[in-house]
Amino acid sequence: MIKIYNTLSQEKEVFKSLEKNKLSMYVCGPTVYNYIHIGNARPIITFDVVRRYFEYIGYEVNFVSNFTDVDDKIIKAANEEAISTKELSDKYIAEFYKDYDALGCQRASSNPRVSDYIQEIIDFISKLISEDYAYEVKGDVYFRTRKKEDYGKLSKQSIDDLISGARIEASELKEDPLDFALWKAAKDGEVSWLSPWGQGRPGWHIECSVMAKESLGVTIDIHAGGQDLTFPHHENEIAQSECHNQATFANYWMHNGFINIDGTKMSKSLGNFTLVKDILTQVDPMVLRLFMLSVHYRTPINFSAESIELAKTNYAKLVIAYQNLNFRLSNEMPIPSMDNEVAEKVNTNLETLEKEMNDDFNTANVLSAWYELVKISNIYTEKDEVNKETLELIKAAFGVYSKILGISLEVKEEIKGDYARIEGLIAQREDARKNRDFTLADKIRDDLKAEGIILEDTKQGVRWKKE
């Protein structure tokens, strides 16, 4: 039984999907006019883990996340780079996937682009106009906010408060300050499409209503995004969709908290980077992922040199424990029977993992449970005699954490070559010692130490780790 904090009710609710063992999920994606920054990485990683957990417990997940490729920022950036908006978006979508894959996220079931849904958007708006929920003024189309009586229900604001706070820009031709644009008349030099209201392009909010409906149907299980999208974006999505579809738009609304960037301190060690691609030149993607998951997704997180250092230490702890497990597994196993005490501890540990994930995806507590498993594992792998099945059971538990959190502990492809080289040097040193050539043996050891590789002679053979 999963409980999810629903922004709509502001309570943790027991999750029930529309269809048994199926989950439809829509996450607002980036505007593709630049490389993604650390703020984009938080929803990407958070909702990747949510999806992974649903898959782990047996759900078939239809995970949709859009690319906004029609937008003021895109038009401006395309003009600056002197290329078409299509070329600009293609470029940054390719860059998005590079960062996304590097962060260990599973590709979405689909990533619809606004420019591929212009006709569906026009049809959607036409229906809203015909039912009086929207109106056209000089080529612009606006949504009549007052027609949606519960407008403000997601962001918990009353329509009257919102109206008193809203202003009409001189250029806008709205009936009411809170009305928002569904379609914008084309300006000179802008990308545009022909519509019943003349040349123009869609406003921002309409795209998610249309693409969610086209990809997932009129009602979806979970709609998610950053907390900053609650108002006006998600509020407007609800208004358009519920007036158009006459059905609930999304049953659960999930929002991740902000990310604070500790600028001053960052500049010293991490170069004050905020783009994911730049951060990844300094930080292992798995460390960045662990950092993001070290705080509950609704809590603000502080991106600082210290927090990254801590994530690095914790990641190293996981990797070393995992390597020790593999090392002991590669040796002969003298004890034939399973250590029942350890087995019981591992099973209890995995129950804690599920309990914490079921409680609104508390990855901070899940990580603590994983560190507990590391302790169980370390105590066992340090024993003189170990049993194969017990080691395999612990290793499988590590695998469960890895799978759900998307944190891989395996040796990365790009350093596999390096591992082979190090193992080779260790074998040479063993030969040298057998031949009593201690000068050579010590030299190999010292050379490796200079590279930050520490050798440890154990009863089971030589173990090594990176400093």
Beta carbon of residue 73, minimum distance to Zn ion (angstroms, whole number): 15
Q: Which is nearer to Zn ion, 208 or 292 (CB)?
A: 208
Beta carbon of residue 366, minimum distance to Zn ion (angstroms, whole number): 28
Q: How far is CA 201 from CA 71, 111, 144, 307, in A?
A: 9, 20, 19, 43
> Is there a contact between 84 and 29 (Cβ–Cβ < 8 Å)?
no
Does position 61 bind Zn ion by CB under 5 A? no
Beta carbon of residue 389, minimum distance to Zn ion (angstroms, whole number): 49
Would you report the helix, strand and coil content of the chain in percent, each value rounded to 5? Answer: 50, 20, 30
What b/e string do you get for 63-77 counting C-beta neighbours within 10 Å, with b at 16 or more? bbbbbbbbbeebbeb
Does position 212 bind Zn ion by CB under 5 A? no
38 vs 169: CA distance, rounded Å: 32
Cα 55 versus chain centre, distance: 15
Does position 208 bind Zn ion by CB under 5 A? yes
* Binding mask of the shown chain, residues 159 to 198, with x at each position contacting Zn ion by CB under 5 A: ----------------------------------------
433 vs 437: CA distance, rounded Å: 6
Q: Which is nearer to Zn ion, 204 or 398 (CB)?
A: 204
Q: Which is nearer to Zn ion, 208 or 441 (CB)?
A: 208
Using the Cα atoms of residue 199, residue 204, residue 209 and residue 212 in order, give the sign of their dihedral: positive
Please identify, among the stretches 13-21, 96-104, 147-155, 202-210, the one whose residues bind Zn ion according to the rule CB under 5 A.
202-210
265 vs 196: CA distance, rounded Å: 54
Does position 206 bind Zn ion by CB under 5 A? no
Q: Which of 141, 128, 228 is nearest to 180 (CA)?
A: 141
Q: Say which DSSP state 149 is in.
A: T
205 vs 240: CA distance, rounded Å: 9
In what helix (H) or strand (E) does residue 260 lie, and over which residues does it extend? strand 259-261
Please identify, among the stretches 26-34, 187-195, 290-298, 350-358, the one whose residues bind Zn ion according to the rule CB under 5 A.
26-34
* Binding mask of the shown chain, residues 89 to 128, with x at each position contacting Zn ion by CB under 5 A: ----------------------------------------
Please identify, among the stretches 21-29, 259-267, 410-418, 439-447, the one whose residues bind Zn ion according to the rule CB under 5 A.
21-29
Number of residues that bind Zn ion (CB under 5 A): 2
3-state secondary structure of 315: helix
444 vs 428: CA distance, rounded Å: 8
Q: Which is nearer to Zn ion, 208 or 405 (CB)?
A: 208
Beta carbon of residue 357, minimum distance to Zn ion (angstroms, whole number): 26
Does position 357 bind Zn ion by CB under 5 A? no
Q: Are strands 180-185 and 198-202 parallel, antiparallel or unpaired?
A: antiparallel
Please identify, among the stretches 25-33, 186-194, 299-307, 379-387, the one whose residues bind Zn ion according to the rule CB under 5 A.
25-33
- Pick the binder of Zn ion from 28, 38, 44, 357 (CB under 5 A): 28
Please identify, among the stretches 107-115, 208-216, 393-401, 454-462, the one whose residues bind Zn ion according to the rule CB under 5 A.
208-216
Please identify, among the stretches 35-43, 150-158, 207-215, 411-419, the one whose residues bind Zn ion according to the rule CB under 5 A.
207-215
Beta carbon of residue 208, minimum distance to Zn ion (angstroms, whole number): 3
> Is there a contact between 6 and 19 (Cβ–Cβ < 8 Å)?
no
**Side chain identity, residue 17:** S
Q: Which is nearer to Zn ion, 241 or 349 (CB)?
A: 241
Does position 444 bind Zn ion by CB under 5 A? no
Per CB under 5 A, residues contacting Zn ion are: 28, 208
